[in-house]
Every structure is written in structure tokens, then in C-alpha cells.
Amino acid sequence: MRDAPWDAELLLRHVLGWSRADVIARGAEPLAAAAAERLAALVARRAARVPLQHLTGGQAFWRHEFAVSPAVLIPRPETELLVERALDLLAPTAAATVVDVGTGSGCIALSIAAERAQARVIGIDLSAVALDMARLNARRLALEPRVEWREGDLLGPVVDLTGQLDLVVSNPPYVDAGDPLEPEVRDHEPALALFPPGEGLSVYRRLWPQAAAALRPGGWALVEVGAGQAGEVAALAAAAGLDEVATFADLQGIPRVVQARRPR
Ligand SMILES: C[S@@+](CC[C@H](N)C(=O)[O-])C[C@H]1O[C@@H](n2cnc3c(N)ncnc32)[C@H](O)[C@@H]1O
């Protein structure tokens, strides 16, 4: 594991409730026996490739800490680009309706809701247990009244809002079944969050036409894509009748977000 010393420090901090500064100032103090035992157990599970976030129970994303479990994808730093783009498209005071498709932990929906007080935000997921985790995060962040959760397939649960959405945002499953994955991901993250049915672009093929119908004229859609998928996903957006198609690269320079607009 590449970051073993860092993981060990985070587990130590988790066990002791310490900050980074505590580790620097008090790192030479002997560990109490109970804490040492707890730390050893966590280190053993981490060495067996259990994700660090399943041991500490959380992951920082955008401006908040999100509770995670094996029911949801662990939020990834590159997904913050979707939030950044969404906030760029949503005027701070606009009363926009925003839908997050495949909300998982709720990290995207809740990050947008926290920054856009006037927005109505709806998070959708096919997984009821994922929505339970999103609800827990909403409660922890005191955003409960601001976000609505709906269970179902893609934009099906918001059919009542057809033609009215200002923004559709989604980080859908896009991993190809043949792609090599780290054991932490392969053995511990939900297959429903990783693998689309059939081939890697199958969700985009269904999502873009649904978004074209669900958005108001002039409304925007933003999706995250896997490395190497942006060109084809952008072409699928145009084929669905969306325009102003653009791609945005993540901090590693990988085209990561495709943005498109329903013509006015
Ligand atoms: C890649 S994860 C993204 C989770 C979260 N939005 C994030 O960015 O960390 C994809 C999510 O989509 C959900 N999902 C998969 N297929 C779906 C479908 N057809 N309709 C709705 N949600 C779906 C999964 O349960 C999972 O929570």
C-alpha cells in the first residue's frame, strides 16, 4: 500500500481522537494498552485491504465530512469538480431545482444544498440502503429539510418535474467490468455504484435523453466520466439533442466532467 504511514497516522488519530497537531506535539507519548489494542486491530484490517474510510467511518468531500459504509461509494476527490461546475452554473440566489442522479452518500447533493440556500435539491438512487446513508449525512449536516430523497432508476422518480429541472448532476457507475481494480474497491465498494449494466457507457446512453426531457429549456446537465470516456460521452450528449457540450479536466488533467445544455 502506497500510503501506509499516512494510513497508520489516520488510524492512530481516529483511535485517540487526536488532530494532526496532537500527533506532532504528543507523538512520543506511550499508548495506553486499550488504545494500542484497538489500533492494532484496525491496522490488521487495513493490511487486509479494508478501505481506510470503512475503518474511520468517514471521508472529507468539498467542505464536509461524510459518513460512509459498504452501502455507498466512498466520495472521490475528482468528483469535487462536479460540485465546482454545478456551483458555477447556479447563481447564489437563484431558486433552482437540482437533481443528483445516483446520489450514494449524498455528497454531491448535500454539498450543493449547503452552498445554494435557495435551491431545491433532490437526490435519487436505485439503492434504498444508499439513500439511508444520504439521509444520515443530511441529518448530520443539518440539511435535512433542504434535500429530498427519491428511490428509483435514473430520472424516473422525478417524472413529475419533466421539463422543469434547472440542473441534472450525476456521477453514475462507469467502470468497465474488465478494468483492474484495487482490492479495497473490488471487494468492499458496492458493485451497483461501480459497474453499469452491460458496457461502460450504458448509463450515459439512457441518462442523456432522459435529461434532455427533464430539463427546462436552457437547463444544464453535468456528468462525471471515467478516464478516456469524455469524447464518446460528449458525442452521446449531442446525439440526445443537447448543445453547448463541453468537457472539464480534473487536477490530474484527465477530462472528467461533461457538461451540456438543453437548447433554449
Ligand atoms: C459512482 S456512485 C456515485 C455516488 C455519489 N454520487 C458519489 O459521487 O460519490 C453511483 C451511484 O449510482 C447508483 N445507481 C446505479 N445505477 C443507478 C440507476 N440506474 N438509477 C439510479 N441510481 C443508480 C448507485 O447505487 C450509486 O450510489
Label residue 197 by pLDDT band (50, 70, 90): very high
Give CA–CA dist 126/102, Å, rounded.
Answer: 7
The pLDDT score that the predictor gives to residue 72 is 98
Mean local confidence (pLDDT), 146-164: 98
pLDDT at 161 over 80: yes
Q: Whose CA is nearest to atom 8 of ligand 1?
A: 171
pLDDT at 1 over 70: no
Label residue 3 by pLDDT band (50, 70, 90): confident
Mean local confidence (pLDDT), 5-12: 93
Mean local confidence (pLDDT), 137-146: 96
Q: Hey, what's the cell of 160?
A: 413529475
Instruction: Tell me which fold the domain 70-261 belongs to.
Output: Rossmann fold (3.40.50)
Residue 205 amino acid letter: R
Give tens-digit pLDDT for 231-261: 999 999 999 999 999 999 999 999 999 999 9
- The whole-chain average pLDDT of the chain stands at 96
Report the separation in Å between the CA atom of 195 and the middle of ligand 1, taken as the mean of its atom positions. Answer: 10
Give CA–CA dist 21/31, Å, rounded.
Answer: 17
Label residue 199 by pLDDT band (50, 70, 90): confident
Mean local confidence (pLDDT), 30-58: 95
Mean local confidence (pLDDT), 106-125: 97
> What are the distances in angstroms from CA 135 to CA 34, 53, 227?
33, 18, 30
**Domains of the chain, residue spans:** 4-48, 70-261
Give CA–CA dist 54/77, Å, rounded.
Answer: 17
The pLDDT score that the predictor gives to residue 2 is 65
Which residues contact ligand 1 via a Cβ below 6 A? Answer: 72-73, 75, 79, 101-105, 107-108, 124-127, 130, 153-154, 171-173, 192-193
Task: For residue 79, give the ligand 1 atom closest to its CA.
Answer: 8
Cβ contacts of residue 210 below 8 Å, gap of 6+?
Answer: 154, 155, 156
